[in-house]
Amino acid sequence: MTRAVCPGSYDPVTNGHLDIIGRAAKLFDEVVVAVLINKNKKTLFSVEERTDMLAEVTAQWPNVRIDSWHGLLVDYCREHDIKAIVKGLRAVSDYDYELQMAQMNHQLSGVDTLFMPTNPIYSYLASSLVKDVATYGGDVSTLLPQTIERRLMLRLAERR
Ligand code: PNS
């Protein structure tokens, strides 16, 4: 069985993430979308909320499951017998850091990283930008699934 992981913060999941997850789901028998917990990163949604949202919007792919992990990604891969990490690349600017992480992860564990070019219609898309735009009343309806947009608006309203 071929198994890959799509790691990230997913705070919250965007259409850009879903593009990569859906394409990975066609290439591997199983894709695990792993929410990586970073205690130093302030997030808008809790880990449970992020995994719930991911489960909801990936339900269309039967071979995709959601998980979360606190620690090194390579340790998650080792524990779950995952040989490939799939990462979306939006632009050349993503490449330097992603290459560094890919090489470090390979050196640590032998796990390979496969870079998937993002669909150009999402090349500018990032969860942080979506949150920023939505905070100031901008229209993010084409950037997120409707259900995620609704949850984002509710959370931002709670924070006001
Ligand atoms: O969505 P993000 O925040 O860009 O995702 C970054 C993420 C979570 C994939 C990356 O920070 C990561 O892999 N963190 C897990 C901890 C780890 O393994 N660090 C060493 C990377 S070489």
* All domains of the chain in start order, with CATH: 3-159 (3.40.50.620)
78 a catalytic residue:
no
Active site residue 70: no
Q: Compute φ and ψ for 12, nearest 5 degrees.
A: -100, 180
Those residues of the chain that have pLDDT short of 50 are none
pLDDT of residue 108: 98
Instruction: Give the number of the atom of ligand 1 that is nearest the alpha carbon of residue 71.
Output: 16
Is residue 33 a contact partner of residue 66, using CB atoms and an 8 Å limit? Answer: yes
Indicate the top mutation candidate among 40, 73, 93, 108 to test ligand 1's pocket, ranked by most ligand atoms within 8 A of CB: 73
Active site residue 106: no
Ligand 1 pocket check for 105: Cβ under 6 Å: yes
Q: Is 73 annotated as a binding residue?
A: yes
Provide the 8-state DSSP code for 120.
G
CA distance 94 to 73: 18
Q: Are 80 and 111 in contact (CB under 8 A)?
A: no
CA distance 134 to 112: 36
Provide the whole-model pTM. Answer: 0.97
Amino acid (one-letter) located at 1: M
Q: Which of 38, 36, 28, 32 is nearest to 10 (CA)?
A: 36
Q: Whose alpha carbon is nearest atom 16 of ligand 1?
A: 72
DSSP E strands in the chain: the ranges are 3-8, 30-36, 64-69, 84-89, 112-117
Quote the pLDDT of residue 160.
85
Range 54-78 burial, b when 16+ CB lie within 10 A, else e = beebbeebeebebebbeeebbebbe
